[in-house]
Structure formats: C-alpha cells, structure tokens
Amino acid sequence: KQEVTQIPAALSVPEGENLVLNCSFTDSAIYNLQWFRQDPGKGLTSLLLIQSSQREQTSGRLNASLDKSSGRSTLYIAASQPGDSATYLCAVRRGSSASKIIFGSGTRLSIRP
C-alpha cells in the first residue's frame, strides 16, 4: 500500500531564503509525481509534474526533483516571497491507468516579511 509522507508539517522562514520541502513515498513503482499548492479556502493548483522517467522539472523559482529508487522528491523554492505562503502537497500516481493520485498530508509554509 502506497504511503506518502511530507516532513516537516509546517515551516516558517524569512523572506528571501531558499528552501526545500520534502516528500517520500513507500512504493517506488510510480507513474508520476505532482506538487500542488493550496491557499486557504481555495482549491489545489498543480505546480509541477514529474514523470517517473524524469529527474527534475523547473518552473520559474520552483524546481522539483525525483529519485524514484529511494522514494523521494524535493520541491526547491528559490528566493522565497510572502506570496509563496501556502500548503504544499505532493501526490503520486501508480500507473497510467490509475484513476487516483495519493496525497501526502502537506507542508504548511509561512514566509515572514
């Protein structure tokens, strides 16, 4: 049974710092991994999707890496801004025919001005 874990559960850093959010999963047989962002009272927004054959994806100040063999992914945020404050979730999909994605419990990030 796939389990996705995100540590830490909460993180507070001053503006301008670079930071790393961690995600681990127990079953390395994944099809892809996604990072989402959720703002309070809002839906989830997909940030980055990494296919199992890829090592990383970049979008602006965000970089996500994937090490499938060790069951780990990281989301790197460069030069953090107060607007980056949100809950960040990672989720894995087992196969191309799988309907569901399995979420971690998220990291609540707060960027202090």
Partner 1 sequence: EAGVTQFPSHSVIEKGQTVTLRCDPISGHDNLYWYRRVMGKEIKFLLHFVKESKQDESGMPNNRFLAERTGGTYSTLKVQPAELEDSGVYFCASSQVMGVGYTFGSGTRLTVV
- Locate tokens 């799988």: which residue? 98
The stretch among 17-25, 64-72, 75-83, 96-104 that binds partner 1 (CB under 8 A) is 96-104
Q: Residue 83: what are its φ and ψ, rounded to 5°?
A: -70, -10
Residue 77 binds to partner 1 (criterion: CB under 8 A): no
Residue 49 binds to partner 1 (criterion: CB under 8 A): yes
- Our CB check for partner 1 shows the closer of 26 and 45 to be 45
DSSP designation for 17: -
- Locate tokens 């979730």: which residue? 89
Q: Residue 94 contacts by C-beta under 8 Å, 6 or more apart in sequence?
A: 2, 27, 29, 30, 31, 102
- Our CB check for partner 1 shows the closer of 37 and 68 to be 37
Rounded Cα gap, residues 21 and 6, in angstroms: 8
CB of 65 to partner 1, least distance (A): 19
Residue 1 binds to partner 1 (criterion: CB under 8 A): no
Cβ(13)–Cβ(32) below 8 Å: no
Contact track, partner 1, 9-48, x by CB under 8 A: ----------------------xx-x-x----xxxxxx--
User: What residues make contact with partner 1 under the rule CB under 8 A?
Assistant: 4, 31-32, 34, 36, 41-46, 49, 89, 91, 93, 96, 98-106
